[in-house]
Amino acid sequence: MVVEAVDMVQVDLVLRDGRYSSVRDLHTYMQGIYHKSTGLLYLWTVCNSPECGMYMFGGPQADMKPPGFFGPDFVNGFMNEGNMSREDEVDGEMGYGRVGNKAWSSRMGRKSCMFKMQAQVAKRETFVDDEHEKPLEAISLSGNLSSVDCNLYMTVNATAMNFEVYYSKAIHYTLMVTAASFCQVLLLVRQIEYSNSRSSAVKVSMLTIGAQAIMDSYLCLMHLTTGIVVEALFNAFATAAFFKFMIFSIFEMRYLLIIWKARRPQGFQEGWNAMRRELSMLYSRFYGCLLAGIVVIYQMQHYSGALVLGMYSFWIPQIVHNIQHDHRRPLLVRYIVGVSATRLLIPLYALACPSNFLHAQPNTPLALALLAWQALQVLILVAQHYRGPRFFVPRRFRPHKYDYYRRIPMTEMGASAAEAHDCAICMMPVVRPSPVVTFVCAPQGD
């Protein structure tokens, strides 16, 4: 007699209405067997009571908030309706929520749904866990889930997730973000030292630095929220969020204040009240743009390509600012290249990495478009740094600019002042001085 290898399986089943969390979740426990040789999986609803199952609430008051848990403890507590009244109260923890009274059973209709599931399990791929040095199998599942009592039938397709590998990938991602943030701090410190004087700070576009600060604030919120949702990864994501918070709240806000002070020096020289008005104006504009950006992101969530390209156009204001005011070398080249490279790591990881921890499908065209768009902006800024801010603008479209390096032809002796050219420095007529003839007398030799 050949005994097949069989494993016992226990499942905690939750049915949701498409949202991550809902008060109308349906919750039950299932157990069954798995045949290793054939890959067949059989599951059924089970609990201590023969009438236990997944309870579905209905009736005229179905919109009322039901208890959050529909497991065995909840069902057993409400089995004997004859001994319950609306005034009886239950003070106990019930899984997802807290049930305040037993009146739910008498106010609302309920129906017990006993589920059965039959599925085929297939090995999808095999990889090696370096930490434990053993092969791990990623499996996929396809089958059907049905309830004869409630006349429900569902097709199930699922893929197993190995949380050890998932957490490892997430930690590697946070290490990458932390290292990139540290590099951005070093580059920002060098750039702030370079633009510390008023004449240098005026050359920098506030929109460029402000857009980067807003982007870092969004990344800080995103990483912090992820750490709160996934408790096992809280320390890693909180570290990445802390670095992003430090960048935008300390360094970039300080840089914005330096630029604002350089452009509006009178506001910081008229006393404390005028200085407070200037600071409140700066911070109100920044946080107003921050909130407006959240609304824009929510409205454009279905146009992710345009949204990503728009967010990574933060060098465009600096390019336009250089052309308008003819500012030469406002930013360090290493700051331009370094910030662009480190800020591209996160979107390229999500768009181009096939095995990212987000389980997002690669979008190679968008990743290439983003890389080309960012490279074009960097090339223009570097060319402006070495060849001048208006090198690519045709001469006829450039505004008139006084030329301090023009050639001044000397006029002949006796020319009038109207015919002479003005000096580029003193603005006085330039006239060639009269020639001086020198006679040298030498004794004649014998």
288 located within any domain = yes
Number of structural domains found in the chain: 2
End-of-domain residue from the set 134, 160, 186: 160
pLDDT at 414: 45
Q: With bands split at pLDDT 50, 70 and 90, how would you rate the model's confidence at 176?
A: very high
Nearest to 278 by CA among 292, 266, 294: 266
Letter for the amino acid at 231? E
Q: Are 248 and 286 in contact (CB under 8 A)?
A: no
Q: Return the percentage of the chain with pLDDT > 70, whole number.
A: 66
249 located within any domain = yes
How many angstroms separate the CA atoms of 216 and 121, rounded? 43
Torsion of CA 330, 335, 336, 342, to 10 degrees: -160
76 and 218 share one domain: no
Radius of gyration of the chain (CA): 36
Handedness of CA 130, 131, 136, 140 (dihedral sign): negative
Q: With bands split at pLDDT 50, 70 and 90, how would you rate the model's confidence at 111?
A: low
End-of-domain residue from the set 378, 397, 416: 397
CA distances for 150 relative to 10, 17, 142, 145, 429, angstroms: 22, 17, 22, 12, 103
391 located within any domain = yes
Helix (H) or strand (E) holding 55: strand 54-58
259 and 309 share one domain: yes
Highest mean pLDDT among 86-95, 145-154, 329-338, 348-357: 329-338
Which one is predicted more confidently, 345 or 166? 345
80 and 183 share one domain: no
82 and 176 share one domain: no
416 located within any domain = no
What is the pLDDT of the chain when averaged over all its residues? 75
Give the three-state DSSP class for 188. helix
Nearest to 92 by CA among 67, 56, 110, 64: 67
306 and 392 share one domain: yes
194 located within any domain = yes
Tokens of residue 111, six digits: 């129906």
108 and 245 share one domain: no
End-of-domain residue from the set 126, 160, 194: 160
344: pLDDT strictly greater than 90: yes
Lowest mean pLDDT segment, chosen from 98-107, 155-164, 189-198, 424-433: 98-107
Give the three-state DSSP class for 318. helix
Taking residues 268-291, what's their average pLDDT?
89
How many angstroms separate the CA atoms of 237 and 229, rounded? 10
75: pLDDT strictly greater than 80: no
Q: With bands split at pLDDT 50, 70 and 90, how would you rate the model's confidence at 143?
A: confident
Tokens 């899984």 identify what position?
Answer: 95
300 and 381 share one domain: yes
pLDDT at 66: 34
pLDDT at 186: 95
425 located within any domain = no
Q: Are 52 and 76 in contact (CB under 8 A)?
A: yes
150 and 214 share one domain: no
pLDDT at 46: 65
pLDDT at 422: 67
Burial of 208: CB neighbours in 10 Å, binned 0-12, 13-18, 19+: buried
pLDDT at 109: 44
Lowest mean pLDDT segment, chosen from 78-82, 197-201, 421-425: 78-82
User: pLDDT tens digits for 388-446?
Assistant: 888 887 777 776 666 666 665 554 444 454 455 667 667 677 665 555 555 555 565 54
Highest mean pLDDT among 37-41, 189-193, 273-277: 189-193
User: pLDDT tens digits for 9-28?
Assistant: 888 777 766 555 555 566 77
79 located within any domain = yes
Q: Return the percentage of the chain with pLDDT > 90, whole number.
A: 35
Range of the domain at 216: 164-397
Which one is predicted more confidently, 165 or 108? 165
**DSSP H stretches of helix in 206-344:** 206-229, 234-246, 253-263, 272-299, 304-311, 316-325, 333-343
How many angstroms separate the CA atoms of 317 and 381, rounded? 11
DSSP category for residue 400: P
How many angstroms separate the CA atoms of 63 and 46, rounded? 28
Handedness of CA 294, 295, 296, 302 (dihedral sign): positive
429 located within any domain = no
Q: Are 417 and 429 in contact (CB under 8 A)?
A: yes
18 and 151 share one domain: yes
147 and 174 share one domain: no
CB atoms within 10 A of CB 112: 19
Full-prediction pTM beyond 0.75? no
59: pLDDT strictly greater than 60: no
How many angstroms separate the CA atoms of 336 and 315, rounded? 9
305 and 370 share one domain: yes
Taking residues 319-334, what's their average pLDDT?
90
Which one is predicted more confidently, 411 or 309? 309
